[in-house]
A = this chain, B = another copy of it.
């Protein structure tokens, strides 16, 4: 099936945003400019922009051009309350286990496909701290789907997802998660600096991406004592 015209314009604009050609806050070309540049009608230009709105890349206001926005806001993922908000202020991420190859773990809560198991597994583990207090241990696993040099790279702005988006043009298309309240066992308790048996929140996530072989399996242990986990949704 041939790719629709609006779809092509949408992809082009999305890539420009992802690659930093347009940054958050920047204005996109007006609809009429897009019509000229790509030799399309306004209907088609608007359709492409609509798509970008739906995916949270831009916002539009009548009379104004489209503005590039922070996409994460639109994702509605669970996050530590007051983490990204208080960015920089006493918030830090520590790489506990740098990215490297490991055996695929047995139980990732979600089933791992044969195609994924056929490839090596990349894993890394990080600590998230607020004002020196560790609030989360985050472990990630995913198949080495030919993302060259991934192991050597530093993360874009310290963010794994931003790295995928900006450098590899891979976006999250779906996520499933499972939550458990549980008693902290030895290692988790030590890392989160809580007593053994203290209640912690375990979040297991499977992120499906636009790359067919790349699913990210995430396991988070959170101390929700002072900083709860939360999110927002718009319907």
Contacts and interface: CB of A to CB of B under 8 A. Distances in A.
Interface in A201-235: 201, 222, 224, 228-235
Contacts of A232: 174-177
Given A76-B76, A200-B199, A230 B178 contact: yes
The 6 A-B residue pairs whose C-beta atoms are closest, nearest first, are A199-B199, A181-B201, A181-B181, A178-B230, A181-B199, A179-B229
B181 A230 contact: no
Interface centre among A55, A199, A200 (most CB of B within 10 A): A199
A198 B175 CA distance: 29
Contact of A177 (B183, B222, B230): B230
A156 interface: no
A30 to B, nearest CB: 21
Given A173-B235, A178-B230, 7 more contacts: A174-B234, A179-B224, A179-B228, A180-B201, A181-B199, A181-B201, A201-B201
A75 interface: yes
Interface string A50-71: 0000111000000000000000
Contact of A178 (B74, B177, B222, B228): B228
Contacts of A230: 176-179
Contacts of A39: none
Contacts of A173: 234-235
B75 A235 contact: yes
Contacts of A176: 230-233
A56 B180 CA distance: 28
28 contacts: A54-B54, A55-B235, A56-B235, A74-B235, A75-B235, A76-B233, A77-B233, A78-B179, A171-B235, A173-B235, A175-B232, A175-B233, A176-B230, A179-B179, A179-B201, A179-B224, A179-B230, A180-B201, A180-B224, A180-B229, A181-B182, A181-B200, A181-B201, A181-B224, A183-B199, A199-B199, A199-B200, A201-B201
